A = this chain, B = another copy of it.
């Protein structure tokens, strides 16, 4: 199995998919992909997603940039994000690693990321018996971050602003990075859902 270590730095990655629920969805996705500053990450777009890989902080920055750039005030938009570190099948060659904590999208995330989001997410870690205790710790960090975690079937719900949510992802990737050899965060982020009006 391929190693995920390149030059002594662990690769983190995200697979990000955008689902704008409107007929002109393709243009909205493409505009967002182009608007996002990806100078700090390796990137590749396939049929499903855009993949960013590199240092964890840089990867979360690119994912957050992609989502806030895709946002508008009227479209029901869903983003699906798979953050991962330590996948033994990861390809060490496909990466861009300076070892620096770069966040070239930080300004746009701060300026545009104050809109409310809802999120469902799950934290998975592998090859260890204490994985449920680690999930509890990850959820405790969400509570401390003011994201109001709520248990649901097969996931936890969060609510806050986009900027808050991605800052939390940055925090939990940082929390998991050193002690966990392999983890995955599966997160789905929703804005402007018409179902909110019924609640």
Q: B195 and A153: CB pair below 8 A?
A: no
Q: Considering the complex, which residues of chain A in the window 11-50 have a beta carbon less than 8 Å from any beta carbon of chain B?
A: 13, 15, 17, 19-23, 25-26, 44, 46-49
Q: Which residue of B lies closest to A199 (CB)?
A: B47
- Give Cα A113–Cα B153 distance, bound, in whole angstroms: 27
CB distance from A74 to the nearest CB of B (A): 10
Q: Give every chain B residue within 8 A of A155 (Cβ-Cβ).
A: 15, 82
Q: Give every chain B residue within 8 A of A49 (Cβ-Cβ).
A: 120
Q: Mark A126-139, 1 if CB is under 8 A from B, else 0.
A: 11110110000000
- A84 at interface (Cβ–Cβ under 8 A)? yes
- Segment from A86-94, A102-110, A160-168, A170-178 that makes contact with B: A86-94
Q: Give every chain B residue within 8 A of A17 (Cβ-Cβ).
A: 78, 188
- Give Cα A120–Cα B17 distance, bound, in whole angstroms: 11
Q: B15 and A25: CB pair below 8 A?
A: no
Q: Which residue of B lies closest to A152 (CB)?
A: B46
- Give Cα A154–Cα B157 distance, bound, in whole angstroms: 23
Q: B127 and A131: CB pair below 8 A?
A: yes
Q: Give every chain B residue within 8 A of A157 (Cβ-Cβ).
A: 47-48
Take A153-B94, A154-B51 as given contacts and tell me if A131 and B120 are in contact as well, using a CB distance cutoff of 8 Å: no
CB distance from A199 to the nearest CB of B (A): 8
- Give Cα A193–Cα B25 distance, bound, in whole angstroms: 11
| Interchain residue pairs A-B with the least CB separation, the first 9 | A19-B19, A21-B25, A51-B153, A15-B154, A84-B154, A48-B120, A23-B23, A82-B154, A126-B131
Excluding A20-B21, A22-B22, A22-B23, 14 further A-B contacts by CB distance (< 8 Å) are A13-B153, A15-B155, A19-B19, A21-B21, A21-B25, A22-B25, A26-B194, A46-B152, A47-B196, A47-B199, A48-B157, A48-B190, A89-B151, A122-B184
Interface CB pairs A-B, < 8 A, 8: A19-B21, A23-B23, A26-B194, A47-B196, A82-B155, A94-B153, A124-B124, A186-B186
